[in-house]
Structure 1
Amino acid sequence: MEPTALAYLGAGLGAGLVALGAGLGIGRLAGPAMEGSARQPEAAGDIRTSMIIAAALIEGVALFGLVICVLLAIK
């Protein structure tokens, strides 16, 4: 295989893994947060705020991963 084909393959696999990891991370975050909100409705605001901050951090890491994959494909 050509080096560019390997770079495209690596970038595609990397982008897929980043998207999968971000989806799993947010899913593992949101499930317990919803359960906690259902068990203690008075704490729902604090739980929601923490969940949104953590989800934003996960998405930020995923975005960096995707940028790295795109940079691999460009070279």
Structure 2
Amino acid sequence: MEAEAAKYIGAGLATLGMIGSAIGVGNIFANFLNGALRNPSAAGSQVGNLFVGAALAEALGILAFVLGILILNS
């Protein structure tokens, strides 16, 4: 396999990491809304956990994007 083809395969795999991150953030918010609608009195205490989880999932997506760019430019 040529080095140029390996770069594109690596960047494509990094794109899968970004897609996985987007799915993860969607699941976080969907499950929060599901739980908040079932027990509205407990929703206020879980907002901090919601944003921490979303931030960590987004950070992984950004990391995958940066690694994809680094792979293509190496």
Give % identity.
Answer: 31
Q: CA deviation at 1:2?
A: 4.1
For structure 1, the residue ranges without an aligned partner over 5 or more in a row are none
Q: Deviations over 1:11-68 (max 9, x none)?
A: 1x12320221011111221111101111111112222221111000011111111111
| Matched-pair contact (CA < 8 Å) for 1:14–1:66 | no
Provide the aligned C-alpha RMSD in A.
Answer: 1.6
Question: Structure 1: which 4+ aligned runs deviate by more than 4 Å?
Answer: none
TM-score between both structures, scaled by the size of structure 1: 0.81
Which residue pairs with 1:48 in the alignment?
47
Q: Which amino acid aligns with 1:6?
A: A
Cα distance in 1 between the residues matched to 2:48 and 2:55: 11
Which residue pairs with 1:37 in the alignment?
36
Cα distance in 2 between the residues matched to 1:14 and 1:46: 37
Which residue pairs with 1:25 in the alignment?
24
Equivalent position SS for 2:62:
helix
TM-score between both structures, scaled by the size of structure 2: 0.82
